[in-house]
């Protein structure tokens, strides 16, 4: 049986780490692309040479798309888009908007041409607006365009909860909805440690601190790194989505998807719980929110809508 094929667009830190994780887990053969000539091929070769040690027969190849030739990506099952300009200290996700829209548009036009049946996972920031751009440019059904954010934000929250409670991360399940920005909506009520609701374990001030740190999770790392932004956790999050799709797991994960009235939001990509399987977003799971939680989600979606409006999407 031939292996699945995943194209990772952008061979920077997020892209190359995503490619490495997919190959290490033997999920698929990977094509790593970049507009640079050399680095994608070099990184793919490096990953390939690690295979005898990590015991994987999945392959990686790297190709330059400087000439606009995406033929090497043809017939991909999934395309993960990480290409774009990174955030720099003091730079908001919104500053990235116009520059990264041009990148995503150019990439998606080529992807559609060569892999018309693929599922697109967008990682480029500002995440929700870029997912909307990919959706509009591709003309794909909404099930096949997803944004990676909720998995990452929930993982950050879980890491902080595990540290605070001094428990295994395997015991912690956190839930973060909304846009991937400072208005994201961590939901302590739906987060738990070994099934015990978070509000039953921690005092409100501790939970509030975790919520605040989760919202600022990306900026905290940007400020520490000085140059560039997070990539270990974002790549792990993207790969969890890739795995759920390729293995048809029907796994419920928070993802940015196109809403058409769910949660009272229409015509917009926002992070909500989604059942991920072979067809992509197989089902949007609607949960009951309190008035405060719903207000926070509507505020978060309004921030996304501002960006989308600027882009005329």
Alpha helices for 139-216 (secondary structure H): 150-165, 198-201, 204-215
Smallest CA-to-CA distance from 36 within 15, 67, 13 is with 67
> How far is it, in rounded angstroms, from Cα 240 to Cα 238?
6
Nearest to 80 by CA among 245, 269, 249: 245
Centroid of chain to Cα 138: 18
| SS3 category, 236 | helix
Cα gap 181→303, rounded to integer Å: 9
Question: Closest Cα partner for 85 from 66, 104, 111, 68?
Answer: 104
Catalytic residue set: 180
Tokens of 104: 């995503």
Question: Can you name the residues that pair with 8 across neighbouring β-strands?
Answer: 32, 80
Burial of 290 (0-12, 13-18, 19+ CB in 10 A): exposed
Tokens of 7: 């194209």
Helix, coil or strand: residue 308: helix
């Amino acid at each position: 049986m031939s292996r699945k094929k995943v194209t990772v667009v952008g061979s920077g830190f997020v892209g190359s780490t995503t490619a490495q994780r997919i190959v290490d887990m033997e999920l698929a053969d990977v094509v790593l692309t970049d507009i640079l000539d050399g680095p994608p091929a070099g990184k793919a070769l490096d990953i390939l040479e690690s295979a005898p040690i990590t015991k994987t027969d999945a392959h990686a190849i790297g190709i330059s798309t400087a000439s606009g030739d995406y033929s090497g990506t043809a017939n991909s099952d999934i395309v993960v888009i990480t290409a774009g300009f990174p955030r720099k200290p003091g730079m908001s996700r919104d500053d990235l908007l116009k520059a990264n829209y041009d990148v995503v548009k150019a990439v998606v036009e080529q992807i559609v041409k060569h892999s018309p049946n693929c599922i697109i996972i967008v990682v480029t920031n500002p995440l929700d607006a870029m997912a909307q751009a990919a959706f509009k440019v591709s003309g794909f059904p909404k099930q096949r365009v997803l944004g990676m954010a909720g998995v990452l934000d929930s993982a950050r929250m879980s890491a902080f909860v595990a540290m605070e409670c001094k428990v295994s991360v395997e015991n912690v399940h956190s839930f973060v909805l909304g846009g991937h920005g400072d208005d994201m909506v961590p939901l302590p009520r739906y987060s738990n440690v070994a099934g015990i609701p978070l509000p039953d374990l921690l005092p409100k001030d501790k939970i509030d601190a975790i919520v605040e740190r989760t919202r600022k999770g990306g900026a905290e790392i940007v400020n520490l790194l000085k140059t560039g932004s997070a990539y270990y956790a974002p790549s792990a999050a993207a790969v969890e989505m890739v795995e759920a799709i390729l293995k048809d797991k029907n796994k419920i994960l928070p993802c940015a998807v196109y809403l058409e009235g769910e949660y009272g939001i229409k015509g917009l990509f926002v992070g909500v719980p989604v059942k991920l399987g072979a067809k992509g977003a197989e089902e949007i799971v609607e949960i009951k929110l309190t008035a405060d939680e719903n207000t926070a989600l509507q505020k978060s979606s309004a921030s996304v809508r501002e960006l989308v409006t600027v882009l005329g999407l």
